[in-house]
Every structure is written in structure tokens, then in C-alpha cells.
């Protein structure tokens, strides 16, 4: 074998270099391959995860939520309603050529046009025979209602009855042996309880969210005529309306109905910001049973106009605190009137249950049936009394009508300055449609910057008394008004409804009829 010398390396330098580069590439490829296999094994390795008593408790909790979802979902439905909307429109209003020449002066021939409007919502199966509970606003004015079950079956639904005052409606589909939801007792709820919301938000069928009960007895925002909402942070979105709010026992405790919205949903619809409202199921049961049995809802009626007990009212009428409902007026001939309830009374308890405020009393009475005998614990000028009342039936419409003005001079100084009044004549009484038992003077004009205007008094109001002293004519009004310095209590009748008004820098009209 010929020895390898320098000449050999010089003559074969290019070939040896290429060989060396190739070997290095092979070595690097091998290293990369081995590293890749090790990395792959590392990424795909399965560990045992966490364990321990606390983790097992969370797993059991998850299993419980899964059981609730599996139990309730078959009783939740998706609802699509269709309504026909008619509008008056010119045939030229959408023509760009006519708009170019006429602008907004397009001739209007008021040709009626129709278009279909769709609403999406949810519902709850409440009986195996096909009765469903949902919100009235989901099916209001609907010409067609389609119901989709969780097993993908579709049905046409008819409206059994609706109650706009609570925004509830009952539907019926032609089906049997349906999976009905278990209805619970909403009075057992407490703030902090875990609840789950079922429904079809943004048409995402059969969605479940979880949260807590944030508050009870919410009555702000005037969402409905009669409201006593459960507030929850379980996500409720458009499409959830009419769906179920469920407790940890899998029982329906509320019907989801409204949200405070940040307009964050697809297409600009309002989305959840963690504040949703549900109608308590106990209220819904009463409405549902009445609608199924008779097609209308009957409610208890006391016959009083009630107001929150403010600090000023509590002081003026010798109440120890602001709990209860302040009686502004008593309707003549009503159950309360017959039982001896008087304006100025503070209703503290109904059937032994404490009344937090006027909204609670109204809900409690309206959830009772007519001809129900109840016991009221009241304070009359600080003295406790007990009154027994047999409830009547709440009239369909309690609104009063009318209002008129005249002219007459009034005080120029003091708390009641800026008010001009006149005597309540028979003709003015007829114009205002006031009952014969209303006595006083009528406000004909009022300075918008006066203390009285600041608390809401207006033309057409009848002042019946000043600081509990009756006013029957202009002379008595002027005499008592001249004595009114500082805080002044008025008895005022507006459109047939009496109420007390304290002239103070603060205060708003939170009165209510019941």
C-alpha cells in the first residue's frame, strides 16, 4: 500500500473536503434526529396530573354540574318567533334617481309594505303534555312560533296566554311524554348560591353557564310592571330570554328575562356584563297556572298607593326606621278602605312577614289570590295596630286621567313661594275627573325654580293639606302657606291619586299603586 504523503492531500484536496463536509452533515442530521425524537417523547409524555383530597373534591363538583346539565338540558327549548310588520312607505323612497332630484321631498303615497321580523329566545318544558314557559317579549305579536327540542325535533307552538305585567307567556306544542323540568322554590335562594343559566344565546343552541345569585328582590330600572328579580352573574345574553335559571339541585328557580348590556354581542347586540335578571319561579308558577286554567292572570288587590319610607317620612310619622311601605292614599271602597287602613299608615308586616319596602309589599299582594284574608301590622303615628283585610282583585288598569289649569295668586315668600292656586270648583273637578271626596285648592301655575317644583309638584295638583291641616279654599291656603317655614308636609292629590310630599332639597316620587 502506497503511503499517504503531502502530495496525495494536495492532489485530492477537493475530494477530501467534499467528503469531510458530507460526513459533518450526516453527523449533524443524526444529532438533530435524536434531539427531535427526545423532544417528541417529552411533548407527548403523559403525567399523572394533580391529585389529593382537594382535587378529588373539585372533580366531584364537576361531576355534579355535569349531572345538572344532563338532567335539565332536555327540558330547555329554542324558540323562534316570526311577526309581520306593516309600514307605510312611498314607492319612490328607495329609488336613488328620485332621491337625487327630490332629496327628502319625495312624494309620499303611503303604500303599505310588509316585512317579517324574527325573534330568538328560549323556553322551559313545564309539563310532559307540552306546556312551555317563556318570556312574553319572545313571542309578542308573533304570527308563527317554532320550537326546537334538544333531540332536534321541531314543533309549531300556540300561545295559551301571556302576561305583559311580568313578561311571562305559556305556549303549547302537540307532543306527549316530554322531559319536564323540576320547578323549585325561589324563596329558598340566598345571595351567594350557585346557579346555572340554560338557553340559546346568539342562536348557540342549548348553552349552559354558571354563576352565583348576586342579589334578590331587585326592582330597579322599571323593566316590567311587576318585578322582583333574581340578579345573577351567570352569563345571560340575547337568546337566553325565557330560559331556565337552575339551582344546585337541578330545579328551576327563575326564568331568565333581562340583562344590563355593554352592546358587546355579534352585530352590536347587547352582551353579558355580569348583571342578569331572572323572574322568580314562584311568581312564574302563579302566572302559569292562571294562564293555563283561565287564560288570564288574577292578582290580589289591597287598594292603596304606597311609597318607600324615607328618613323624612320616618321622622314625621314616628317610625323607628325606614322599613315598610308608606300609605300615600287609600282608594275609596277598596279592601284597605273597608278594613280601616288610612293614608299616613306605615305597613310593616303582612301575615307576620316583615316588609322591607313598598316594592316587596306590592309583589307579595299581587302573588296572592283575590278573596285571600291577610293580616297587616301597621304603624299609625308611631302606634302599632293590626288590621285584617280580605283582598280584592287587581283592576286591569289603575291609571287616572285628566288635568287642568286656572289662575289665582299665591305666596311670594316661604317654603311654598312660587305656587299659584285656585279654588276647586265643580267645573274644575269635572275637568280633572276627581272624586267628590277630594277637597283642596288646585295649583294653576308654579315657578319652575320654586322649592315645590323641585320636588315634583305641577299644575293640576290639588293641595289637600299643609302640615296636616286641611285646606278647603284659597284663603286657608294663603294663611297656612304664610306659616310654612323650612320643612313642609303637603297632602297632594294628582289625577285622583293622593300622596304626601315633603318639600325638601332631596326626594323623588317613588310611589306605587297596590
Span 399-424, pLDDT tens digits: 222 223 333 456 767 888 888 888 88
Burial class (CB in 10 A: 0-12, 13-18, 19+), 336: buried
Total-model pTM:
0.64
Provide the pLDDT for residue 400: 27
Provide the pLDDT for residue 184: 93
CA distance 311 to 143: 51
CA distance 83 to 45: 57
Choose between 166 and 445: higher pLDDT. Answer: 166
Strands (E), 239-396: 244-246, 252-261, 272-280, 300-301, 304-308, 325-330, 346-350, 353-354, 373-380, 383-390, 392-393
Percent helix / strand / coil, the chain, rounded to 5 = 25, 35, 40
Q: Where in the sequence numbering do the catalytic residues fall?
A: 137, 167, 241
pLDDT tens for each residue of 443-485: 988 888 888 988 989 988 999 999 999 988 777 788 788 888 8
Asked whether the beta carbons of 242 and 122 are under 8 A apart, the reply is: yes
- Say yes or no to pLDDT of 212 above 90: yes
CA distance 433 to 424: 12
Provide the pLDDT for residue 406: 32
Provide the pLDDT for residue 404: 31
Q: What are phi and psi of 117, to 5 degrees?
A: -115, 130
- What is the three-class DSSP state of 36? helix
Average pLDDT, the chain: 81
- What is the three-class DSSP state of 435? coil
Per the DSSP assignment, residues forming a β-bridge with 209 are 197
Provide the pLDDT for residue 292: 93
Provide the pLDDT for residue 66: 93
Choose between 359 and 195: higher pLDDT. Answer: 195
CA distance 191 to 70: 25
- Say yes or no to pLDDT of 509 above 60: no
CA distance 175 to 185: 27
Provide the pLDDT for residue 99: 45
How much of the chain exceeds pLDDT 90, in percent?
41
Q: Which of 102-106, 237-241, 409-413, 428-432 has the lowest mean pLDDT?
A: 102-106
Q: What is the DSSP string of 240-262?
A: -TT-EEE-TTS-EEEEEEEEEE-
Burial class (CB in 10 A: 0-12, 13-18, 19+), 75: buried
Per the DSSP assignment, residues forming a β-bridge with 305 are 329, 513
Per the DSSP assignment, residues forming a β-bridge with 159 are 171
pLDDT tens for each residue of 55-100: 989 999 999 999 999 999 999 999 999 887 655 454 544 455 444 4
Q: Give the chain's domains with CATH numbers.
A: 59-85+121-297 (2.40.10.120), 300-393 (2.30.42.10), 419-495 (2.30.42.10)
Average pLDDT over residues 314-335: 89
Average pLDDT over residues 203-226: 83
Provide the pLDDT for residue 312: 84
Provide the pLDDT for residue 83: 81
Q: What are phi and psi of 128, to 5 degrees?
A: -65, -15
Contacts of 96 (CB under 8 A, 6+ apart): none
- Say yes or no to pLDDT of 47 above 70: no
Choose between 95 and 436: higher pLDDT. Answer: 436
CA distance 35 to 42: 10
Average pLDDT over residues 250-269: 73
Give the confidence band of 44 by pLDDT, cuts at 50, 70, 90: low
Amino acid at each position: 500500500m502506497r503511503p499517504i504523503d503531502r502530495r496525495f492531500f494536495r492532489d485530492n484536496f477537493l475530494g477530501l473536503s467534499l467528503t469531510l463536509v458530507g460526513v459533518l452533515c450526516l453527523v449533524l442530521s443524526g444529532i438533530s434526529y435524536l434531539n427531535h425524537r427526545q423532544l417528541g417523547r417529552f411533548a407527548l409524555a403523559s403525567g399523572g396530573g394533580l391529585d389529593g383530597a382537594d382535587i378529588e373534591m373539585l372533580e366531584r363538583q364537576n361531576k355534579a354540574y355535569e349531572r345538572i346539565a344532563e338532567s335539565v338540558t332536555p327540558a330547555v327549548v329554542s324558540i323562534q318567533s316570526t311577526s309581520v310588520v306593516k309600514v307605510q312607505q312611498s314607492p319612490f323612497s328607495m329609488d336613488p334617481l328620485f332621491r337625487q332630484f327630490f332629496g327628502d321631498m319625495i312624494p309620499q303615497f303611503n303604500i303599505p309594505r310588509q316585512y317579517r321580523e324574527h325573534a330568538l329566545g328560549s323556553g322551559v318544558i313545564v309539563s310532559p303534555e307540552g306546556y312551555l314557559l317563556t318570556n312574553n317579549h319572545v313571542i309578542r305579536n308573533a304570527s308563527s312560533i317554532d320550537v326546537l327540542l334538544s333531540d332536534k325535533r321541531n314543533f309549531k307552538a300556540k300561545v295559551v296566554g301571556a302576561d305583559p305585567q311580568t313578561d311571562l307567556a305559556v305556549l303549547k306544542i302537540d307532543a306527549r311524554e316530554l322531559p319536564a323540568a323540576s320547578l323549585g322554590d325561589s324563596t329558598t335562594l340566598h345571595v351567594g348560591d350557585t346557579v346555572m343559566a340554560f338557553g340559546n344565546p346568539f342562536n348557540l343552541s342549548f348553552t349552559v353557564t354558571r354563576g352565583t345569585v348576586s342579589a334578590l328582590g331587585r326592582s330597579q330600572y322599571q323593566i316590567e310592571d311587576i318585578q322582583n328579580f333574581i340578579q345573577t352573574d351567570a352569563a345571560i345574553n340575547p337568546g337566553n330570554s325565557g330560559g331556565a335559571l337552575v339551582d344546585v339541585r337541578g330545579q328551576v328557580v327563575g326564568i331568565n328575562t333581562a340583562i344590563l348590556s355593554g352592546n358587546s354581542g355579534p352585530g352590536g347586540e347587547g352582551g353579558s356584563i355580569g348583571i342578569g335578571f331572572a323572574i322568580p319561579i314562584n311568581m312564574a308558577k302563579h302566572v302559569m297556572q292562571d294562564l293555563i286554567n283561565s287564560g288570564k292572570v288574577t292578582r290580589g288587590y289591597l287598594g292603596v298607593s304606597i311609597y318607600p319610607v324615607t328618613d323624612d317620612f320616618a321622622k314625621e310619622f314616628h317610625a323607628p326606621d325606614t322599613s315598610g311601605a308608606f300609605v300615600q292614599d287609600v282608594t275609596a271602597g277598596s279592601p284597605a278602605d273597608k278594613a280601616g287602613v288610612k293614608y299616613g299608615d306605615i305597613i310593616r308586616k303582612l301575615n307576620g312577614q316583615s316588609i322591607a319596602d313598598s316594592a316587596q309589599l306590592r309583589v307579595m299582594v299581587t302573588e296572592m289570590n283575590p278573596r285571600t284574608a291577610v293580616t297587616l301590622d301597621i304603624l299609625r303615628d308611631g302606634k302599632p295596630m293590626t288590621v285584617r283585610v280580605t283582598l280584592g282583585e287587581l283592576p286591569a288598569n289603575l291609571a287616572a286621567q285628566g288635568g287642568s289649569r286656572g289662575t289665582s295668586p299665591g305666596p311670594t315668600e316661604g317654603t311654598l313661594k312660587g305656587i299659584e292656586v285656585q279654588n276647586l270648583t265643580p267645573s274644575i273637578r269635572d275637568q280633572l275627573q276627581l272624586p267628590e271626596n277630594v277637597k283642596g285648592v288646585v295649583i294653576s301655575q308654579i315657578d319652575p325654580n320654586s322649592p315645590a317644583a323641585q320636588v315634583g309638584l305641577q299644575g293640576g295638583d290639588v293641595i289637600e293639606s299643609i302640615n296636616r291641616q286641611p285646606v278647603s279654599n284659597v284663603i286657608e291656603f294663603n294663611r297656612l302657606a304664610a306659616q310654612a317655614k323650612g320643612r313642609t308636609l303637603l297632602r297632594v292629590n294628582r289625577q285622583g291619586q293622593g300622596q304626601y310630599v315633603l318639600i325638601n332639597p332631596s326626594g323623588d316620587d317613588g310611589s306605587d299603586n297596590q
